[in-house]
Amino acid sequence: MMNVTLANGIQMPVLGLGVWKTTEGAEVEEAVSFALNNGYRHIDTATLYKNEVGVGAGVRNSSIPRSEVFVTTKVWNDDQGYDHTLRAFDQSQRNLDIDYIDLYLVHWPVKGKYKESWRALERLYTEGRVKAIGVSNFLQHHLEDLLPSVEIRPMVNQLEHHPYLVQSSLQQYCKAQGIQFEAWSPLMQGGIFGIPLLETLSAKYGKSIAQIVLRWNVQNGIVTIPKSVTPERIIENSQIFDFELDAADMQAIDQLDKGQRVGPDPDVFC
């Protein structure tokens, strides 16, 4: 499994298992354990998903040592602010039942609160309770507002990203700032299927449409976290390291961009 190196030197696997809308209990435990036992080393959850307990159990029940697993969780909007974020982190750590968290994110840029939330993340990082800190759903203007006030810069920005929402300028800005770009909803919640160009590329490379899109992410240096609970799909999504898209095909996928979201707009949602 390939890694990217974050600004602080931490290695982050480029492919992870997302668990949004994966049910707490057996469903998420089994999906996490199966993914880890079949090559994944990165699991992405959040307080909002209400499945941190199952994620932690899945990590412990797998055959993979904790030190080899990269676990991400996030502080939810209702918990933002300095003291609230610290308490939310404590609860997430209890839920996961692990001695440290690899990556902790501010889930959304809640107006009037995200700077204080970030200050709490800096404390958690300085205390060694989390290996890396970052943000999620921060557009360029949010980052431009945050960065002048930070002591420790965000290492990751997790955003909606797929062929219909490429956000090239934001990718470039994050890269210039040393912030790793990470894609949520990379498969457009199933919306990638039926796009003619992707069907053509699937036939050309002998790979599934999902594999084409995930490979496009990885070749662009983007961390990607497709969600699935189906064993066959979990394995399929990981089989993206034995081929490469040529430059023309990469560019063709980029040109599918419509600025079209399947999730909330950060400027409206917060």
**Catalytic residue IDs:** 49
For the chain, the farthest-separated pair of C-alpha atoms sits apart, in whole angstroms, at 53
Q: How is residue 128 annotated by DSSP?
A: T
Q: Comparing C-alpha atoms, which of 20, 11, 129, 127 is closest to residue 70?
A: 11
Report in angstroms the alpha-carbon separations of 113 from 8, 24, 74, 146, 170. Answer: 25, 29, 15, 11, 22
Burial-class residue 60 by CB neighbours within 10 Å (0-12, 13-18, 19+): middle
Q: Comparing C-alpha atoms, which of 212, 214, 233, 230 is closest to residue 222?
A: 214
Are 223 and 2 a contacting pair, CB within 8 Å? no
Q: Comparing C-alpha atoms, which of 78, 40, 73 is closest to residue 56?
A: 73
Are 250 and 216 a contacting pair, CB within 8 Å? yes
